[in-house]
Amino acid sequence: MASGCYLCDTGHDKISDKNAGKVLGVCENCSILACEAHAQRDPNHPRWICVLCDTSLLTAAGITTSNGSSLNSVLTVLISSAILKDGSRYKTLEQFLEDRPNYSWILNQIDEVLVLARKRFTTDITEPFWFGLSEQGQKLIAAAIIIAERFELSEYDLVETLRILLHDWRSRE
Protein backbone atom coordinates (compact mmCIF):
# COMPACT_ATOMS: atom_id res chain seq x y z
CA MET A 1 0.00 0.00 0.00
CA ALA A 2 1.40 3.38 -1.00
CA SER A 3 1.72 6.05 1.64
CA GLY A 4 0.39 9.52 1.05
CA CYS A 5 0.99 12.98 2.35
CA TYR A 6 -0.18 13.15 5.97
CA LEU A 7 -1.66 16.63 5.57
CA CYS A 8 -3.46 15.75 2.32
CA ASP A 9 -4.82 12.58 3.90
CA THR A 10 -6.15 14.56 6.85
CA GLY A 11 -7.80 17.17 4.58
CA HIS A 12 -5.70 20.30 5.09
CA ASP A 13 -5.42 23.34 2.84
CA LYS A 14 -2.27 23.89 0.77
CA ILE A 15 0.59 26.32 1.44
CA SER A 16 0.55 27.46 -2.16
CA ASP A 17 -0.66 26.39 -5.58
CA LYS A 18 1.88 23.56 -5.65
CA ASN A 19 0.81 20.01 -6.49
CA ALA A 20 -0.84 18.19 -3.63
CA GLY A 21 -0.77 14.49 -2.95
CA LYS A 22 2.49 13.23 -4.39
CA VAL A 23 4.92 12.73 -1.52
CA LEU A 24 8.26 14.38 -2.22
CA GLY A 25 9.93 13.86 1.12
CA VAL A 26 9.91 13.20 4.81
CA CYS A 27 9.87 16.16 7.16
CA GLU A 28 13.28 16.43 8.78
CA ASN A 29 11.78 17.31 12.15
CA CYS A 30 8.70 15.13 12.65
CA SER A 31 9.18 12.48 9.92
CA ILE A 32 5.71 12.74 8.34
CA LEU A 33 5.44 12.21 4.62
CA ALA A 34 4.64 15.47 2.86
CA CYS A 35 3.96 16.74 -0.64
CA GLU A 36 5.12 20.07 -2.04
CA ALA A 37 1.75 21.62 -1.14
CA HIS A 38 2.35 20.91 2.56
CA ALA A 39 6.09 21.25 2.98
CA GLN A 40 8.89 23.43 1.72
CA ARG A 41 12.59 23.07 1.23
CA ASP A 42 14.45 25.70 3.18
CA PRO A 43 16.99 27.09 0.68
CA ASN A 44 19.25 28.61 3.34
CA HIS A 45 19.35 25.51 5.53
CA PRO A 46 18.60 22.67 3.08
CA ARG A 47 15.95 20.41 4.52
CA TRP A 48 12.33 19.42 3.89
CA ILE A 49 10.02 20.92 6.55
CA CYS A 50 6.25 20.41 6.83
CA VAL A 51 3.67 23.03 7.75
CA LEU A 52 3.26 21.52 11.24
CA CYS A 53 6.95 21.96 11.99
CA ASP A 54 6.94 25.47 10.55
CA THR A 55 4.47 26.39 13.30
CA SER A 56 6.80 24.80 15.85
CA LEU A 57 9.78 26.74 14.50
CA LEU A 58 7.84 30.01 14.62
CA THR A 59 6.74 29.32 18.20
CA ALA A 60 10.31 28.49 19.24
CA ALA A 61 11.62 31.58 17.45
CA GLY A 62 9.10 33.73 19.30
CA ILE A 63 10.32 32.36 22.60
CA THR A 64 14.06 32.60 21.88
CA THR A 65 13.73 36.08 20.36
CA SER A 66 12.04 37.16 23.59
CA ASN A 67 14.82 35.71 25.76
CA GLY A 68 12.65 32.74 26.70
CA SER A 69 14.38 31.94 29.98
CA SER A 70 13.28 35.29 31.39
CA LEU A 71 9.62 34.84 30.42
CA ASN A 72 9.00 32.88 33.62
CA SER A 73 6.09 30.99 32.13
CA VAL A 74 5.01 27.39 32.10
CA LEU A 75 4.52 27.80 28.34
CA THR A 76 8.25 28.40 27.91
CA VAL A 77 9.28 25.09 29.45
CA LEU A 78 6.78 23.08 27.40
CA ILE A 79 8.82 23.37 24.21
CA SER A 80 11.77 21.06 23.63
CA SER A 81 15.34 22.31 23.55
CA ALA A 82 15.82 20.80 20.07
CA ILE A 83 12.99 22.87 18.65
CA LEU A 84 14.25 25.96 20.49
CA LYS A 85 17.67 25.49 18.90
CA ASP A 86 16.16 25.31 15.39
CA GLY A 87 13.82 28.20 16.09
CA SER A 88 16.65 30.42 17.26
CA ARG A 89 17.69 30.84 13.62
CA TYR A 90 14.81 33.29 13.13
CA LYS A 91 14.97 36.63 14.91
CA THR A 92 12.16 38.26 12.90
CA LEU A 93 9.11 37.22 10.94
CA GLU A 94 10.67 38.80 7.86
CA GLN A 95 13.70 36.52 8.21
CA PHE A 96 11.43 33.47 8.40
CA LEU A 97 9.49 34.63 5.33
CA GLU A 98 12.72 35.12 3.41
CA ASP A 99 13.35 31.38 3.84
CA ARG A 100 9.68 30.50 3.27
CA PRO A 101 8.31 32.90 0.62
CA ASN A 102 5.20 30.74 0.10
CA TYR A 103 3.95 32.08 3.44
CA SER A 104 4.09 35.75 2.38
CA TRP A 105 0.27 35.91 2.67
CA ILE A 106 0.76 35.92 6.46
CA LEU A 107 1.70 39.61 6.26
CA ASN A 108 -1.87 40.42 5.18
CA GLN A 109 -3.22 39.14 8.51
CA ILE A 110 -0.48 39.79 11.05
CA ASP A 111 -1.66 43.19 12.32
CA GLU A 112 -5.22 41.99 12.88
CA VAL A 113 -4.03 38.90 14.77
CA LEU A 114 -1.74 40.99 16.98
CA VAL A 115 -4.70 43.19 17.97
CA LEU A 116 -6.99 40.20 18.60
CA ALA A 117 -4.32 38.43 20.66
CA ARG A 118 -4.50 41.15 23.30
CA LYS A 119 -8.18 40.28 23.77
CA ARG A 120 -7.94 36.50 23.47
CA PHE A 121 -4.94 35.69 25.63
CA THR A 122 -6.46 36.48 29.00
CA THR A 123 -5.99 33.33 31.09
CA ASP A 124 -3.53 33.03 33.97
CA ILE A 125 -1.21 31.08 31.67
CA THR A 126 -1.52 32.79 28.30
CA GLU A 127 -1.75 36.44 29.34
CA PRO A 128 1.61 36.73 31.16
CA PHE A 129 3.27 34.67 28.45
CA TRP A 130 1.92 36.78 25.57
CA PHE A 131 2.64 40.13 27.19
CA GLY A 132 6.10 38.94 28.24
CA LEU A 133 7.08 38.35 24.60
CA SER A 134 9.02 40.95 22.66
CA GLU A 135 7.32 42.63 19.70
CA GLN A 136 9.14 40.29 17.30
CA GLY A 137 8.30 37.31 19.51
CA GLN A 138 4.62 38.19 19.31
CA LYS A 139 4.81 38.51 15.51
CA LEU A 140 6.49 35.12 15.16
CA ILE A 141 3.95 33.35 17.34
CA ALA A 142 1.08 35.24 15.70
CA ALA A 143 2.35 33.86 12.37
CA ALA A 144 2.22 30.33 13.81
CA ILE A 145 -1.39 30.97 14.85
CA ILE A 146 -2.27 32.30 11.39
CA ILE A 147 -0.83 29.19 9.75
CA ALA A 148 -2.61 26.89 12.22
CA GLU A 149 -5.91 28.64 11.54
CA ARG A 150 -5.50 28.79 7.74
CA PHE A 151 -4.75 25.06 7.58
CA GLU A 152 -7.21 24.19 10.34
CA LEU A 153 -4.47 22.27 12.11
CA SER A 154 -5.49 20.10 15.00
CA GLU A 155 -4.20 21.30 18.35
CA TYR A 156 -2.97 17.74 18.90
CA ASP A 157 -0.54 17.96 15.97
CA LEU A 158 1.20 21.03 17.43
CA VAL A 159 3.85 21.63 20.08
CA GLU A 160 2.36 21.99 23.55
CA THR A 161 3.06 25.73 23.86
CA LEU A 162 1.23 26.50 20.63
CA ARG A 163 -1.49 23.99 21.49
CA ILE A 164 -2.38 25.91 24.66
CA LEU A 165 -2.25 29.29 22.91
CA LEU A 166 -4.37 28.02 20.02
CA HIS A 167 -6.90 26.50 22.40
CA ASP A 168 -7.38 29.89 24.08
CA TRP A 169 -7.42 31.62 20.69
CA ARG A 170 -10.17 29.37 19.34
CA SER A 171 -12.26 29.37 22.51
CA ARG A 172 -12.53 33.18 22.52
CA GLU A 173 -13.63 33.71 18.93
Structural domain for 72, as ranges? 51-171
- Average model confidence (pLDDT) across the chain: 85
| CB distance 111 to 26 below 8 Å | no
66 pLDDT band, cuts 50/70/90, is: confident
Residue-wise pLDDT tens digits, 104-139: 999 999 999 999 999 999 989 899 989 999 999 999
Report field, pTM of the whole predicted structure over 0.85 = yes
Q: Is residue 62 in a domain?
A: yes
The reply to whether 42 falls in a domain is no
| 50 phi/psi in degrees, rounded to 5 | -85, 170
**Count of domains in the chain?**
1
Cβ contacts of residue 124 below 8 Å, gap of 6+? none
